[in-house]
Structure 1
């Protein structure tokens, strides 16, 4: 990104796409970075996102140029609130501006300085229990082409590890649906033996080092070593408040697991994320992703993000989305 604090240029990277459509978590992290830059330039409070609500008005386009326009709505002592609009850049000077792609409101604070340290109610739940990460495995291979960089490149941006028993359960359901004649792009109901929820370990994968990393598109400007044959590996990128925005929407929604291969696209309409704490920089997250209600293709997807080292809840997300057939269908 480049430009002044209130208006920043952004090239939408294709390395965070699902079937060609850039992912909402990547977009939210990018928008939050623009708000942080504006706050720093103006002297407004807040170095970390505390809350973000975004409306995805149109699908973003990989490789396209966008303008991120930031307006400060409130600047208080501890926090500041900003409106951020992502709009496709005008193709020529003086052309009419395009319709907005994303409209968001971002509240900034400091993740390491909560308002009242130690004041916490007994939680209604606890961090999900999983086998150790080294005993868990990826779920993406279950879906064949969805694990390939060309069709599902965002899979390379996640080191997500699932209980092997759950992976086997999903694989059996997918095979059963294929044998029953489910056709990609045509909704055909849910697999009756799959829950609309899952838990997993989650962190960033190893990064590229050296010149290959420049402009490669990770939310910190680096790339995944698995995407370039023979690339050197660097230590795992540390977790921070921005990464919680990305991980709140970086994996398939749980309802998708029950309908594949009948459904191939689940566009997000609106999403809100709360940052409840600072994650351990070099550690793992434990994610719980769940849906309670699917109504004629409408669904909500809730995300819990737990710091695996401390057992503390560090992020919450909720989105409204649609189960649809193919990317490009009108929303």
Structure 2
């Protein structure tokens, strides 16, 4: 049986060089469909376009307009095919309007050198049983953000004061993550994971929907099975915008994805 993620990112050839998608209402948050989910749909389309290099390495997306649940179309264009990497541009459109424009470099993570050397340290999140389940969110919040039903999130208690009106002011949210149906995340799924947690501005006392302007994700390895650790931080809120830096670590203690997002300050 396919996972929920596979079903919700499924694509069909439409016969006109496009791939058709059905954006699922379960990924809505605030005023539109979650940007990480949209990037995952486009990421799946690129992977299907170049099956010999199925893994995203670097993906940058510009969000031009909010997407809604329902039919959408993805177009891809091969820009350069090299020996180890291929670069593709892609767009997801809906009702004649481009929702996101993407530039992506893909390869085969399994064929890359195994030469990891990093000074980065995994986020120190307490054990699962000491963390706060996302399922405890108020019914009103879950109604506005059905996206939360897609995941099993266990928040670090030190980073969840915003949920009870006591944000830390540090601009930091981190949690254990897995899909609600228990299936393991693949490299394309990491594009979504980097945008799965609540906006980090919640921890600054600024709740609400934060529309994404641009999101760049670097995928570094195929994640090992099991829970992921996801950490979001921001250091600067200015000009009505903020940056959100994300790290995703797998169950083997490896840094498997990094991202930076530029978003508008939250809207009520």
Within the alignment, does 1:252 sit opposite 2:227 as a pair? no
Aligned equivalent of 1:92: none
Residue of structure 1 aligned with 2:187, choices 241, 262, 273? 241
CA distance in 2 between partners of 1:258 and 1:250 (Å)? 18
Residue of structure 2 aligned with 1:151, choices 102, 123, 144? 144
Aligned equivalent of 1:315: 257
Deviation string, structure 1 residues 139-198 (Cα, Å, up to 9, x no partner): 46455521x2x311110111111133443x3344x1x6xxxxxxxxxxxxxx5x431012
SS of match in other structure, 1:318: strand
Aligned equivalent of 2:7: none
CA distance in 2 between partners of 1:255 and 1:143 (Å)? 19
Residue of structure 2 aligned with 1:121, choices 114, 117, 120? 117
Compared CA separation, residues 242 and 5, structure 1 to 2 (3 A): farther
SS of match in other structure, 1:316: strand
Q: Map residues 16-35 of structure 1 onto 2, 5 A cutoff.
A: 16-35=27-46
Question: How far off its partner does 1:313 sit?
Answer: 0.5
Higher strand share: 2
Partners of 1:200 and 1:286 within 8 A in 2:
yes
Partners of 1:268 and 1:320 within 8 A in 2:
yes
Question: How far off its partner does 1:113 sit?
Answer: 2.2
Residue of structure 1 aligned with 2:67, choices 60, 69, 81? 60
Deviation string, structure 1 residues 224-263 (Cα, Å, up to 9, x no partner): xxxxxxxxxxxx1112101211100011121123334xx4
How many residues are paired up? 257
CA distance in 2 between partners of 1:5 and 1:50 (Å)? 28
Question: How far off its partner does 1:111 sit?
Answer: 2.0
Compared CA separation, residues 2 and 122, structure 1 to 2 (3 A): closer
Aligned equivalent of 1:170: 162
Q: Normalised by the size of structure 1, how large is the TM-score?
A: 0.73
Residue of structure 2 aligned with 1:268, choices 194, 207, 212? 212
SS of match in other structure, 1:112: helix
Residue of structure 2 aligned with 1:101, choices 99, 104, 124? 99
Task: Tell me which structure has the larger Cα radius of gyration.
Answer: 1
Q: Normalised by the size of structure 2, how large is the TM-score?
A: 0.89
Aligned equivalent of 2:173: 198
Q: Map residues 209-248 of structure 1 onto 2, 5 A cutoff.
A: 236-248=182-194
Deviation string, structure 1 residues 69-114 (Cα, Å, up to 9, x no partner): 110111112221111011124xxxxxxxx23111001211112222
Aligned equivalent of 1:303: 246
Partners of 1:5 and 1:38 within 8 A in 2:
no
Partners of 1:5 and 1:34 within 8 A in 2:
no
